[in-house]
């Protein structure tokens, strides 16, 4: 991409910018022309969380002239362990506003455009059309397929990153020069089979490692230098401190970039993946299958016989627990449903309601009807019933 820019068409650098980027200018592979390419370039970052934080900050510091930020969430205390673009003083603020202020403080010579809205099939084309590179920092499957298809249809490179606990992945999908994401993963995993970082956790420094690698690949694409991870998937494990590169091949039968594409426009990606297109910890169910923390506490105080089932992982019980609850982790739930009696009244709970909603669906499909799940999970219990418990 960088090779398509010609010196005569590139913007000039002020004396202040030359001083700011002097360490770049000393690198032969970057130099003055390369820095001008960075200034002329535009990058759209979808998601201003753990991955989007280092991507945005390093691209801003590097002098990428126009950066677009997409997110519709607010800064929460649980974000601060890894989303380093935000600070304690920004709690409750819109993430795009917090991120814009931070990167303009890093580099006031760039332009930042914000999109405080969900990134969907309805608006993605209009938002992304004028950007050179699209970076996905959301780490959920509907957005991943959306960004991939969007990139193929617009003929733009897609810089991919994924994180979970201690593991990360990075690649560059560019259907013009190699495989796209659908070539490797034609179908999404079964709904709810892959836990999110909010459910399974993530080492705080991991998105810094993976996001910095994404920023590196983006800069290489803009400059047209080195060997980008096109046709390659980089696998990183923080515990082993290991890097492995897997070769990827283009699928001639790919539904969007193959020889006879079936997908010619953006589709409903939440329906395609069977899960919501965001990273939040909520699942919406029919209200008749939910019970609030205060109502549950009142019924327990009245002596009603209710069997409490905690579907969190055993190590989470060290953080908080509700007395009398039985622990059946969600991963074991299908094989242990025989331990439950459908004649009993059962209330399921987890951290925030996501995993318990999935366990509820399993019970409903097995014919259970006297079952509910605790809306908001044990965190809601801590907020509304027992403030001695921590929220996590």
Query: Could you list the active site residues?
Result: 197, 350
Radius of gyration of the chain from Cα atoms? 23
Q: Name the strands in the sheet holding 371-374, side by side, starting at the edge strand that comes first in the sequence.
A: 290-291, 371-374, 346-349, 307-310, 326-327
Output the six-digit token pair for 328. 């059946």
Q: What share of the chain is helix, strand, coil (3-state, %, to 5)?
A: 40, 15, 45
245 forms bridges with which residues in the sheet?
234
Cβ distance 286 to 372 under 8 Å?
A: no
Cβ distance 328 to 387 under 8 Å?
A: no
Using N-to-C axis directions, what is the helix angle for 293-301 and 377-384, rounded to 10°? 70
> What CA–CA distance (Å, rounded) separates 106 from 62?
10
């Amino acid at each position: 991409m960088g090779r398509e820019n010609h010196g005569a068409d590139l913007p000039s650098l002020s004396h202040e910018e030359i001083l700011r980027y002097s360490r770049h200018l000393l690198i032969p592979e970057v130099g003055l022309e390369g820095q001008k390419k960075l200034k002329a370039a535009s990058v759209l970052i979808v998601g201003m969380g753990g991955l989007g934080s280092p991507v945005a900050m390093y691209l801003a510091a590097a002098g990428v002239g126009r950066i677009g930020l997409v997110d519709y969430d607010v800064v929460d205390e649980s974000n601060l362990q890894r989303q380093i673009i935000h600070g304690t003083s920004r709690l409750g603020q819109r993430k795009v506003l917090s991120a814009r202020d931070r990167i303009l403080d890093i580099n006031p010579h760039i332009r930042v455009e914000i999109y405080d809205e969900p990134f969907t099939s309805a608006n993605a084309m209009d938002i992304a059309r004028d950007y050179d590179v699209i970076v996905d920092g959301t780490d959920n499957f509907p957005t991943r397929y959306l960004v991939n298809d969007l990139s193929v249809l617009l003929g733009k490179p897609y810089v991919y990153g994924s994180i979970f606990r201690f593991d990360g992945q990075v690649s560059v999908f560019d259907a013009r020069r190699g495989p796209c994401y659908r070539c490797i993963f034609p179908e999404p995993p079964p709904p709810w089979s892959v836990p999110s970082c909010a459910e399974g956790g993530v080492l705080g420094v991991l998105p810094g490692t993976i996001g910095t690698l994404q920023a590196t690949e983006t800069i290489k694409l803009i400059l047209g230098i080195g060997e980008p991870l096109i046709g390659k998937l980089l696998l990183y494990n923080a515990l082993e401190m290991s890097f492995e590169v897997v070769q990827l091949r283009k699928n001639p039968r790919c539904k969007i970039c193959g020889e006879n594409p079936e997908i010619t426009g953006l589709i409903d990606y939440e329906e395609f993946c069977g899960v919501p297109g965001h990273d939040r910890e909520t699942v919406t169910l029919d209200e008749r299958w939910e019970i609030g923390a205060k109502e549950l506490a009142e019924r327990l105080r009245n002596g009603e016989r209710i069997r409490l089932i905690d579907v969190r992982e055993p190590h989470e019980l060290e953080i908080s627990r509700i007395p009398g609850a039985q622990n059946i982790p969600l991963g074991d739930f299908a094989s242990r449903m025989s331990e439950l009696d459908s004649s009993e009244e059962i209330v399921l709970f987890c951290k925030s309601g996501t995993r318990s909603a999935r366990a509820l669906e399993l019970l409903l499909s097995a014919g259970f009807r006297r079952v509910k799940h605790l809306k908001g999970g044990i965190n809601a219990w801590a907020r509304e019933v027992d403030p001695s418990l921590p929220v996590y």
